[in-house]
Amino acid sequence: MDKLLIEGGRELHGVIRASGAKNAALPAMTAALLADGITTIQNVPRLRDIQAMGDLLEILGCAVETEDDVVRVDARHIHSFEAPYDLVRKMRASIYVLGPLLARFGQARVSLPGGCAIGDRPIDLHIRGMQALGAEVELEHGFILARANRLQGAEIDLVGSRGSSVGATVNVLSAACLAEGVTRILGAAREPEVVEHARILQGMGAKIEGAGTRTLLVEGVDRLEAGHISIIPDRIEAGTFLVAGAITEGCVSVTDCCPDHMEATIEALVRANVQVEVEATQVTARRLGEIRPIELVTGPYPEFPTDMQAQITALLSLARGVSRLTDNVYPDRFIHVRELIRLGARITRVPGQAEIIGVDRLSAAPVMASDLRASAALVLAGLAANGVTEILRVYHIDRGYERIEQKMASLGARIWREGE
């Protein structure tokens, strides 16, 4: 098991290219299950989660080839409809195979998902959606068992207790493409990754209207064609590198990104007194003075993303004053707070919220990563801390950040990886 070591106190300067979006690439790989052919996916980041999804597709009978940032999925010889616990427990996105398997083959057996330990993330909306499309769904021995001769178009409300669900929207949208008749999805998620998934399905022959709005209309077709897909840039990775420039008092530009997808993150940085310059496919962040305290509330897109909450917490730990951060998406997503405190941050917790009292500096210490975005927050804090910070269990960060130590080093960071 690897660990990262970071010698803090160095300004980061330079240009970094945004990788493809993990949260768009994973559902794109499962969309390949809907077509009897070879799907080619470009701009795929090389991540643990991508490898895990490839392993899962191979278990189902797909042939998966990876070369640089290109993944090819041959779904012509699928022979299994079960996503086993050993793989699904590692990655919550494994549940995305439920809709495609059910729609194309009429059956699916998917282990209840795992992934990051960031609080309760129920799968009831996924199940509700499949049932609305006419599937019989049971929970048995830790598995979701779903069956249907052919799915039927229906009106489906996907509004949950915490708003819309990206995962459920993607899963139901995939299934509805091969359902008989018209499906109307209410309360659909509006995230760029959902819009991208609709675009991918349309390129395969699906008939979808309303992507990017709260209502999706899907007219089912008999079959989809394998195609050629290119993945959008990762808005969360891009935002993380912008924070890296700000927290180190440097200047970092992220190129090949989509600024329109990052408006809430950019606005938060500007409010915190970070100078942000936006061009067509590039965003630059530089810190010219003290970080200002702000109040932030996470929410579904286009609100501030929960996946940037931990990173912005690290930045605000150095603000001049008191910041408050509320996470309405995952109220328990504050495990990183105790590790940031080990680095000298002053943060107090109440349910669903963190109060951050800014300090003059952070000090290096051994810390332990608890989940993907918490790992990124610890890297950011380590870049700003005096001394050498040791981050354990960095396999979490490898799930969602492509070669993060190499990218940070290219900007001037003193960061390296060792075996524990």
Q: Are residues 271 and 396 in the same domain?
A: yes
Strands 38-42 and 228-230: parallel
- Clarify whether residues 11 and 83 are in a common domain: no
Please compute Rg for the chain using Cα positions: 21
Same structural domain, 400 and 262: yes
Report mean pLDDT in 10-residue bins for the chain, 420 residues.
95 98 98 98 97 97 97 97 89 93 97 58 86 96 95 95 87 98 97 98 98 98 96 98 98 98 98 98 95 97 97 98 95 94 97 96 96 96 98 94 97 94
Supply the pLDDT for residue 120. Answer: 46
Q: Specify the number of domains making up the chain.
A: 2
Q: What is the pTM of this model?
A: 0.96
Q: Are residues 81 and 143 in the same domain?
A: yes
CATH number at residue 120: 3.65.10.10
DSSP string, 82-124: EE-HHHHTT-GGGGGGHHHHHHHHSEEEEEPP----SS----H
Q: Quick check: 83 and 110 in contact, CB under 8 A?
A: yes
How far the first Cα of the chain sits from its last, in Å, is: 6
Shared-domain flag, residues 224 and 97 = yes
Q: What number of other Cβ atoms are within 10 A of residue 339's Cβ?
A: 23
Neighbours of 149 (CB within 10 A): 10
Active site residues: 116
Last residue of a domain, one of 230, 260, 285: 230
Residues 170 and 242 in one domain: no
Residue 283 confidence (pLDDT): 98
Residues 224 and 273 occupy one common structural domain: no
Using the 3D structure, point to which of 185, 211, 230 is the last residue of a domain: 230
Residues 375 and 307 in one domain: yes
In this structure, the answer to whether residues 221 and 290 fall within a common structural domain is no
**According to the model, what pLDDT value does residue 118 have?**
40
Point out the domain boundary residue: 180, 203, 230: 230
Range of the domain at 29: 22-230
